[in-house]
Amino acid sequence: MTASTHVPAKGSLILVTGASGYIASWITLYLLEQGFSVRGTTRTATKGQWMKGMYAARGFDGFEYTVVSDLENEDAFGDAARGVDAIIHTASPFHWNVTTPDDFIKPAVAGTLSALRAASAAQVRRVVITSSYASILENKEPLGEFTFTEDDWNQQSIDEVEAKGTGAWRMHWYRASKTLAERAAWKYVEDNTPPFDVVTICPPYVLGPLIHDVPSPDALNTSAANWYAYLSGQKSADDAIAPAGILCDVRDVARAHVRALLLPEAGGQRFGVATRTFTIQTLLDHVTGNDKLMAAFPDTVRGPPGKPVPPQNWFDCSHSLKVLGIELTHESKTAIDMTESLVEKQKGWSKPV
Ligand code: NAP
């Protein structure tokens, strides 16, 4: 089998799991723009219907949805995958409504394996999985002294969760879930010689505009909720200046998924997509001077502008970006476009129910 047989046929049907999500909604939009049809899984029909309407309003009628509510069901995606040519698996818990590490780990691992089993049964060509830099980076000090690449694995979070259980830092619960899910995917490929190849995408902290359904502020996805907390004055200026993180625009992350689906040579690889180190303050600097945005968010946290980003370890994705051919969005565009999209979302929130 040559590598190119793993690329889905032009215009074919692609399954996107977790299609009502922040990143998945952009992936779906780009697939539709490229002439593919998309079947998305959502947890409720209401979300599926909303997404269908949103794509139709943008001129695309190639989106259908199917409800898959339980990632831990062994055959969760069996029906959903029937007749598709490839799968992009994004569904995985990334929220803080959890009480044990297993609330992250079980659905993350089981959902990934369900997607792969369904891919085998449906004889798809390629599976692209949304992993995370959480499966790569470990906490290492002194900050700023270490560079990670796609060759690295985060064993630290797994060890912390194994040693301390619920006593481990909650971020390690999530990071362990992403590491274990991605490892399970590569092991599945090794053990089963499936008819498809796998590609994983490892984004860092993802920000940028929202096109998915957000009926209220508490329905915001985790990374957008953090930005909104600064726009709505719920966090302090001190929180905005440290610690530094690593940023990528949601549109670049989505483009990376689509490129990974379509590039023959992407099969079997992990790809990172990281723009730069940042603090929330560096992003606030791009919006606090914008009168229109500040009129919509008058309580925005206003810390000291121009404060340099403190040292942070780096995730070097230069190899991935070269292979995928992605040009990264400037952080000013990420901050402004995200805030503009929240201005629009907020108009819906203020309407009486
Ligand atoms: P999101 O909007 O919360 O998307 C997560 C998706 O997974 C949603 O569609 C959600 O369904 C679904 N999901 C979560 N738990 C589920 C469960 N137990 N059963 C069934 N479906 C479930 O967040 P996102 O940021 O787009 O995340 C998408 C993927 O990107 C995740 O794999 C996440 O780990 C990864 N990621 C995110 C970031 C980031 O900064 N945002 C960074 C790196 C990697 P509902 O819509 O019904 O909630």
Closest C-alpha residue for ligand 1 atom 44 = 132
Q: Tell me, what's the pLDDT at 4?
A: 55
Q: In what order do the strands lie in the sheet with 37-42?
A: 63-67, 37-42, 13-17, 86-89, 126-130, 197-202, 270-272
Sequence letter at residue 159: D
Look at residue 339 in the predicted model and tell me its pLDDT.
Answer: 98
Cis check: omega of the bond before 243, within 30 degrees of 0: yes
CB of 132 shorter than 6 A to ligand 1? yes
φ, ψ of residue 306 in degrees (nearest 5): 75, 10
Bridge partner list, 65: 40
pTM for this prediction:
0.97
Tokens encoding 314:
């780096």
Task: State which residues of the chain have pLDDT below 70.
Answer: 1-4, 351-353
Single-letter residue type at 89: H
Q: Which two tokens stand for residue 253?
A: 């992350």
- Gap from CA of 108 to ligand 1 centroid (Å): 10
* Helix, strand, coil tally for the chain in percent (to 5): 45, 15, 40
291 Cα: distance to centroid of ligand 1 (angstroms): 33
* Pairing label, strands 245-249, 276-278: antiparallel
Q: Can you give the pLDDT at residue 261?
A: 98
Structure tokens at 72: 């831990």
Tokens at residue 266, please?
């992407």
Residue 277 beta carbon below 6 angstroms from any ligand 1 atom? no
How far, in Å, CA of 344 to CA of 210, rounded?
10
Q: Is the CB of 104 under 6 A from ligand 1?
A: no
Cβ density class 179-188: b for 16+ within 10 Å, e for less = bbbbbbbeeb
Alpha helices in the chain (DSSP H): 22-33, 45-57, 78-81, 102-122, 156-164, 170-192, 222-231, 237-241, 250-262, 280-287, 291-296, 318-324, 331-349
Considering only CA atoms, which residue is closest to atom 14 of ligand 1? 93
Q: Do residues 125 and 263 make contact, with C-beta atoms less than 8 angstroms apart?
A: no
Tell me the CA–centroid distance for residue 308 and ligand 1, in Å: 31
- Count of C-beta atoms within a 10 Å radius of residue 242: 14
Ligand 1 pocket test, pick from 69, 92, 128 with the greatest ligand atom count within 8 Å of Cβ, gives: 92
What confidence score (pLDDT) does residue 242 get? 87
Residue 279 CB partners (closer than 8 Å, separation 6+): 240, 241, 242, 243, 244, 245, 307, 309, 310
Tell me if 336 sits within 8 A of 270, measured CB to CB: no
Question: Which of ligand 1's atoms lies nearest the C-alpha of 25?
Answer: 26
Q: In whole angstroms, what is the distance from residue 81 CA to residue 87 CA? A: 8
Does ligand 1 come within 6 angstroms of the Cβ of 22?
yes
pLDDT in the model for residue 247: 98
CA distance 152 to 132: 12
